[in-house]
Amino acid sequence: MFSNNKELNTLWALLNCLIPGGSVFGALASSFFINCFGPKKSLLWNNCLAISAVLLNSLARTAGSVEMLIVGRLFSGLNSGVIVCVAPTYLNEISPDHLRGAVGATFELSIGIAILLSTVVGLPNVLGNLDLWHYMLALAAVPTFFQLITLPFCPDSPKYVFFSRQDDKETLDALGKLHGRTNAKRELAAIQEEYSRVKDEPLLTLKDILIDPFLRRILFITMGLHLCQQFSGIDATMFYSTAMFQEAGLSGKMARYATIGMVAIYVVGTAISMVLVEKVGRKILLLIGYSGAVVFLSILTASMLLFDSGEPPANTPHAKNPYAPAAYASCVSLVCFVVIFSAGPAPIPWVLMSEYFAQRPRAVAAGPAAATNRFGSLVVALVFPYMQASLNGYLFLIFIGLNIGFIVFTCVYVIETKGKTSDEIQAELRARMEGNRAVPASHGPSTLT
């Protein structure tokens, strides 16, 4: 952005990396908060970071302090890191088995809605300009105070309540609010049975998970799922979207509106995944998403290269590009990629992150898994500009190759969890580890899980 000023370039890079970088540490620290306070109270306490970030970011211009903006963005990163770990855990623990995937997908839906709203608010003719940008950053207070007002009325995680306090009445009350009185007693019996198997085990640490071969394997699989999501190429396509729409003939203003429309399509696709995830299944959606990515990124690459090959020389400004229609093909393939990604690889890693672990190790394992997601985002933010400058139209060939690898990873390591209880998931994961696809009926989870 500031190619002639190295100091400003460094500052710009730092500001861009503070949020994903800070979120790595926030995610790692969130396991401690979940174990101490439970997921609901962890989300409430996390608003202290959010309020601090809003104050620092929005008042930095008034104070004339770049340092306030740096610290504010760091706090924003820490806050988002806690959210990406705690929120999926909370959604998993309050959901009935038959709706666990759909409820879990609402997390990615909320992210998509937030991106859409921030993109609209960030338009130059709204708040994204030199005079009003600090008001735009102050708007982050709206969801913060909304959560502070509404979350106290939501039930706590029934499993956390029972595992931490063994309070039948409080757990039954939480289950009744979430699943209805008819199912509450049956759900309580299942929680009691799960607790009876692990009650004598000490509180797990990350070291315990890394030492245990089974838990270590599951942790690495969930971390792999998040790396697949981040390195699929979605951020690169979002970055290129406005330029592609301009090449297709749209003005700069209309191209920005088209990008907003594409983000809106992403939101719709994520909403559709809430229905598909319980009908089609998690693994199938992942495979469709990554296979579709290979197809549409291939079309995108071919279209971009064809368009570039027809660009007239600089000394013939009135000449026309004979391959101008390729720009339209680029836009269509771009939109198709966003749609197919939003329905599968976008929400599913967050769902499986919580589903693959039983209650005891879930909080500890969710931290490194979520941190891996944010680390992937940080790597993309740091490396992508250099990839773009070096590879130009060939950039997406790397993502095509990666998505082929992600298909193999999904086929080999990911199991379907649709409609299965936590015990059934643990049994199947262990059977996979032992090289047996059929899950023995009598095979239950280990004492560590």
| Choice between 183 and 175, residue whose per-residue pLDDT is larger | 175
pTM of the predicted protein model? 0.87
In the block, which residue shows the tokens 């936590």?
A: 422
Calculate mean pLDDT across residues 67-91.
Answer: 94
| Choice between 286 and 381, residue whose per-residue pLDDT is larger | 286
Core vs surface per residue 403-434: b (16+ CB within 10 A) or e:
beebbebbeebbbebbebebbebbbbbbbbee
How confident is the model over 17-54, as pLDDT tens digits?
888 899 999 999 998 899 889 999 999 999 999 999 99
The top-scoring range by mean pLDDT among 10-24, 129-143, 385-399 is 129-143
How confident is the model over 226-245, as pLDDT tens digits?
999 999 998 778 777 887 78
**pLDDT for position 445:** 39
Q: Which residues contact 314 (CB under 8 A, 6 or more apart)?
A: none
Calculate mean pLDDT across residues 260-279.
Answer: 93
Q: Taking 70 as the threshold, does the pLDDT of residue 212 lie above it?
A: yes
**Distance between CA 171 and CA 215 in Å, rounded?**
27
Q: How far from chain centre, in Å, is Cα 354?
A: 13
Calculate mean pLDDT across residues 424-429.
Answer: 93
Calculate mean pLDDT across residues 201-210.
Answer: 86
> Is there a contact between 255 and 93 (Cβ–Cβ < 8 Å)?
no
Share of the chain above pLDDT 70, in %: 93
Instruction: Tell me the average pLDDT of the chain.
Output: 88
| 3-class DSSP assignment, residue 64 | coil
